[in-house]
Chain A
Amino acid sequence: MRKCSLDKLNLIFAEIAKDAALYLPADQTDGSAAYKKWEEGTALSDALNTVRSPKDFFFPQTEDLMKFKTQGKNIDIIDIRTALEDFVIFGVRACDVKSFDILDRVFLTEPVDSFYASRRSHGIIVSMACTRPSETCFCKTFSIDPANPAGDVSAWKSETEIFFEANTQKGEDFLNKISSLTEECDDTLVATQKEAINKIMDKLPLKNLDTSAFGGGKTNELFDSPAWAELSQSCLGCGTCTFVCPTCQCYDIKDFNTGNEVIRFRCWDSCMYSDFTKMAHGNNRLTQKERFRQRFMHKLVYYPENNDGLFSCVGCGRCLAKCPISMNIVKVMKKIGGNKSE
């Protein structure tokens, strides 16, 4: 384990930024935090989490895939991919690090998504332990430990110091680059911090969320539950939950005709939207109840069915904080799955 004083954090950022684009959570003018590219003067935010998740780095909201140009009877297909450079995402919380595993299972299984794969291979993830979780946090439900965040490098921040530990070869290389600014240390202080985090985790109001009603094979049991109508009755059909979610991965591919060429791009889609997965025959989810059900069945039943029981929720709590009507996955799990603590 290596450490350095927080006064030197800026020097570390400058060192990292010499060879790679460095992104970190920074405070915005409205009081929230967002990942920003570091430049001299950018300070690491103390916010628990960013409004947008870091999935944007690997799976951006919009992305051009290719261009077509027609001349007479010829169509030129123009490859617009460019070589990527390495980049570092600094300060990723444990829940968000886990979300990358969930996205990997979608984008890196055959057929591999080359756009995603390329970004993923160029990204270095430096995670950060959560010393002050929110009441909306429930990562423990999904066996995520905010005291031991994964990633290429794990970091822990105290009032005065920051501690680093490498978990991968990429992480070792990263720590070697900043070795002149850090010093070797034992893990006594980090162990104390972990203990404090665990104590807080035991006090979180959502700590006993029960997942046993969900998982692969539960489709028939849950699909026709009368609770969906009640839960979705006030859903506005906006895309907030899906767009702030670190694991939502649905997208649409569209062509934009500029007049003399066509740009094929993809953009995030939302199962909450009325034209989501619209097909030639029309739409297969006609009411908001069906769209709403799709989102939670996907996270709690369909995804685990195809991925060894892994749920596609990481308990980051963004949907709890941001849904305009305060309807969210926790309320769904409690209503449909019952709750041990009640």
Chain B
Amino acid sequence: MQKITREQLIEKASALLSNSTVSCVLGWGMGEFDYDVTPTTFNSVEELEKGFVFSDFCGANFSKYLVKKAAACEGKILVFLKPCDTYSFNQLLTEHRFDREKVYVVGIPCEGMADINKVKAICGEGILSIGSKGDKMTVTTLYDDEPVSIDAKEVLAERCLNCKSKKHVAFDELLGDEGDVIESNRFDEVARLEAMTPDERFAFWQNELSRCIRCNACRDACPACTCEKCVFDNPNSGVENKSPANSFEEKLFHIIRAYHVAGRCTDCGECSRVCPQNIPLHLLNRKFIKDINEFYGEYQAGAEEGQRAPLVDYTTEDLEPGEVFDRRDSDA
């Protein structure tokens, strides 16, 4: 499915390592299977050739890693960013979370990443290999004598089905086009939830959030969650909690997190990608984004470095709090 190849990326990274533009490379490390890639720092051309991969399963957003890895790298760190990752990159820069001078960004085109759960839903367990050519994926399994051919579009991750932008909003150089912001239907599901009665909506979230195991993967993968000490991890905060004591706390955690990233969330979708229980957490954040768009005008976090989010800015045109209540009353 991807138009850019592993070889092209290794060639680019090797050239930048060889001419000392960068001293290390943040890329995707080969796993046991064709889908379990691990974000990995490569320090030499040999390491790249041995372990670097690029495939339809390279969904991880590298921007947040820069908070730690840019400082740890001796010289500049090369990072490959997909268009959606660049929004997180800008947002983190706006929040002064890493040193821009330490990073060399190569923007790479993205055709959308695959969701292994969707592959397994079609092909079952026991996947031995996954190949990709054009619009097709070829999957061999323990249980099928012949490889199974599937349409790559069928296994696109939810966030990629609703891709908001193919535009690189931050880069030092590009492999491919700069790309454009595109039309998406990403708010359709939010609108569907808004149209529910409060009881239906409560039941929807009750069902989804009841699966939460409080592993914190959503928070720990989230590029907007870069507090050095999260209040929920701090025994001195008085609200530290390691597990949901009841269904109230289960929801509280996610709602507080959604509030905390409101106006800063770029809708990268990492929260839902990493959730071991497939909770559609991105819908909470998208609700905030949709509201901000409707209350304050279109706003995309991370579109530009240094922009002021409506929630931390003041204009005389800002709507009055009462108008929010009016809207709530008209919904009910």
Interface, chain A (partner B; CB < 8 A): 28-32, 34, 48, 51-52, 61-62, 132-136, 200, 203-206, 233-234, 236-240, 242-244, 252, 256, 265, 267-270, 273-275, 278, 320, 322, 324-327, 330-331, 334
Of the candidates A52, A134, A240, A326, the one whose C-beta lies within 8 Å of that of B31 is A326
Residues of A within 8 A of B207 (CB): 29
Q: Is B314 an interface residue (CB 8 A)?
A: no
Q: How far is the CB of A340 from chain B (nearest CB, A)?
A: 15
Nearest first, the 3 A-B pairs at minimum CB distance are: A324-B274, A326-B36, A134-B125
Known: A34-B211, A234-B40. A273 touches B242 (CB 8 A): yes
Alpha-carbon gap, A270 to B235, bound state (A): 14
Check B8 for interface membership: any CB of A closer than 8 A.
Answer: no
Interface: B75 (CB within 8 A):
no
A199 CB to closest chain B CB (Å) equals 10
Given A237-B220, A243-B215, do A326 and B38 touch, yes or no (CB 8 Å)?
A: yes
Return 11 A-B CB contacts under 8 Å, by A number.
A30-B211, A52-B213, A62-B245, A133-B125, A133-B126, A236-B274, A252-B242, A268-B243, A274-B229, A322-B276, A326-B31
Q: Say yes or no: B243 contacts A275, CB within 8 Å.
A: no
Residue contact B31 to A331, C-beta cutoff 8 Å: yes
Whether A239 contacts B38 by the Cβ 8 Å rule is no
Q: Is the interface of B mostly helix, strand, loop or mixed?
A: loop
B259 at the binding interface (Cβ < 8 Å): no
Contact with A along B22-56 (1 / 0, CB 8 A): 00000000011100111111000000000000000
User: What 4 additional pairs, Cβ within 8 angstroms, besides A32-B278, A132-B143?
Assistant: A132-B124, A234-B39, A268-B242, A326-B38
Tell me if B216 is interfacial: C-beta within 8 Å of chain A: yes
Residue of A nearest to B141 (CB): A135
Contact with B125, one of A31, A132, A233, A242 (Cβ below 8 angstroms)? A132
> Once the chains bind, are A267 and B242 in contact (CB under 8 Å)?
yes
Flag whether B128 is at the interface (Cβ < 8 A): yes
Distance between B142 CB and nearest chain A CB, rounded to angstroms: 6
Closest partner residue, chain B, to A319 (CB atom):
B276
**CA–CA, A327 and B184, complex, Å:** 33
- Asked if B32 and A51 sit within 8 Å, CB to CB, the answer is no
A237 / chain B contacts, CB cutoff of 8 Å = 220
CA distance A115 to B290 in the complex (A): 48
Specify the chain B residue showing the minimal Cβ separation from A49. B125
Interface centre among B40, B213, B233 (most CB of A within 10 A): B213
| Complex: chain A residue closest to B229, CB-CB | A274
Q: How far is the CB of A210 from chain B (nearest CB, A)?
A: 14
Contact A236 B233 (CB under 8 A): no
Cα A72 to Cα B274 with chains together (Å): 50
Contacts of B202 in A (CB 8 A): none
Query: Interface residues of A: mostly helix, strand, loop or mixed?
Result: loop
Give the residues in chain B near A326, CB-CB below 8 Å: 31, 36-38
Residue contact B142 to A325, C-beta cutoff 8 Å: no
Known contacts A204-B142, A325-B38; decide if A238 and B211 are in contact (CB<8 Å): no
- Show the binding face of B for A, using Cβ within 8 Å: 31-33, 36-41, 60, 65, 117, 121, 124-128, 142-143, 207-208, 211, 213-217, 219-221, 229, 233-235, 240, 242-245, 273-274, 276-279
Rounded to whole angstroms, the CA-CA distance of A244 and B214 in the bound complex is 11
Query: Which A residues are CB-close (under 8 A) to B117?
Result: 31
User: With A51-B276, A252-B242, A327-B38 in contact, is A244–B125 under 8 Å at CB?
Assistant: no
Q: Report the Cα distance A273→B214, complex, angstroms.
A: 12
Task: Give every chain B residue within 8 A of A243 (Cβ-Cβ).
Answer: 213-215, 276
List A contacts of B31 (CB < 8 A): 326, 331
- Assess whether A233 is in contact with B41, with CB atoms less than 8 Å apart: yes
A31 to B234, CA, bound (A): 34
Minimum CB–CB distance for A7 against chain B, Å: 24
Residues of A with C-beta under 8 A to B221: 236, 238, 324
Instruction: Find the B residue at minimum CB distance from A330.
Output: B32
Residue of B whose beta carbon sits closest to that of A334: B32
Q: Could you tell me if B127 and A135 are in contact, using CB atoms closer than 8 angstroms?
A: yes
Which of A30, A52, A135, A269 is within 8 Å of B242, CB to CB?
Answer: A269
Distance (whole angstroms) from the CB of A246 to the closest CB of chain B: 13
Residues in B with CB closer than 8 Å to A252 are 242
Expressed in whole angstroms, the Cα–Cα distance for A252 and B243 within the complex equals 10
Tell me how far the C-beta of B306 lies from the nearest C-beta in chain A, rounded to whole angstroms.
Answer: 28
A-side contacts of B40, CB under 8 Å: 233-234
B235 contacts A240, C-beta separation under 8 Å: no
In the complex, what residue of chain A is closest to B230 when comparing beta carbons? Answer: A274
User: Which of A62, A136, A275, A334 sits near B233, CB closer than 8 Å?
Assistant: A275
Let me know if A273 and B142 touch, CB within 8 A.
no
Q: Which of A52, A135, A274 contacts B128 (CB 8 A)?
A: A135
CB <8 Å contact, A205 and B32: yes
Query: CA separation between A76 and B215, bound complex, in Å?
Result: 35
**Choice from B33, B65, B215 contacting A135 with Cβ under 8 Å:** B33
How far apart are B196's CB and chain A's nearest CB, in angstroms?
Answer: 15
Question: Quick check: B213 and A61 within 8 Å, CB to CB?
Answer: yes
- Please give, as numbers and ranges, the residues of chain A lying within 8 Å of B142 by CB-CB distance: 132-133, 135, 200, 203-204
Interchain CA distance A132-B219 in the complex, whole Å: 34
Residues of B contacting A134 with CB < 8 Å?
125-126
Cα distance A331–B40 when bound, in Å? 13
